[in-house]
Structure 1
Amino acid sequence: MSRATKPKPKRLLAIDTSASPGFAVIEYGGSKPASLIYTDAFPTDTSLSDAERYEVVRSATALICYKYGTATPFDVVVREHFIKGGSKRGTQLVFGGWAAVDMALRAFGYTIDSDNEIPPTTVKKAVGISGKATKAEVEQGVRKALNLPDDYVFPNNKGGDASDAAAIGIAYLKREGAI
């Protein structure tokens, strides 16, 4: 008679990519509900040059890969899909952030498959009431989906980047039927 083994939990890294990115590490699967392992945002100082800002983004991504994806590797890395910002400058900053994130991910053996880029309206619908959910509604939806206390405060979340990263992860997990 063979002994049934418990399914191992998986680990997801979700990134709200920009020149001031947000990150979330979510554990899911196994015998426990999805849980937030880590979330934070790294607002970069607009007085820095673009090269300096992108180095902060690359370094933050590398640190998270090292700290949360080395001993227990990420099973998937996801981010919000982005085509064009509200301005030429905004678009440049996001794509510069993407390049910085991609460099750090590759250094640790990770890539983001284009199938793992989630459209913003899908993210908002997954945790809010509609594709036009407010930042506060997204935050509350993330708290509910991950069983966080109502008063949970997302670190460095002034622009909503930390809670947005968690929402991106939740949207992916819902799409995949994992939660």
Structure 2
Amino acid sequence: MNKKLIIIIVAVALICAGGAGAAVYFLAPPKGEAAEADKHDGDKKTKKKKKEDDEEEAGPMKYLTVEKVIVMLRRSPNETVPHYLSADLVVAVPVKKEKDAKEHLPLLRSVAVRTLSSLPMDKAQAMTIDEYAEALNKAFEEEYEKDEREQPFKEVMIGKLILE
């Protein structure tokens, strides 16, 4: 009885091993597809690595302020009362580029004054905070592209805004 039991166990093991081998053979992708699948996985890994590098490059953020940017808004043709806009800007800077960004604060103030002072009062009243931030970020990008320099900060946000 022991010999029959051993033979049955060996036979079942051989059948299972044969089934597993057949499954691997029939379910594995052909050589060309395997190489393409490996390349695709490599692309995913490369993109993931690049994203991690970008996050590491950015690292922790520091926030600098450009306080009291005050401009007189353009008047309508029949209007005699002057209108003013006062804003405090917050600049998001990677810690590694903090020194460069601090050196650029006078330029940021100048671009902000130029951008904000070109607004007519009625348009300025209708704009949201996000629209102000978008307009300023666009102006900064254009300025740095024109000068062919790298922008040392990620974005500019509005810390305070007063229209009078």
Normalized against structure 1, the TM-score is what?
0.25
Larger RCO of the pair (alpha carbons < 8 Å, separation 6+): 1
Normalized against structure 2, the TM-score is what?
0.27
**Bigger Rg, which one:** 2
More strand by share: 2
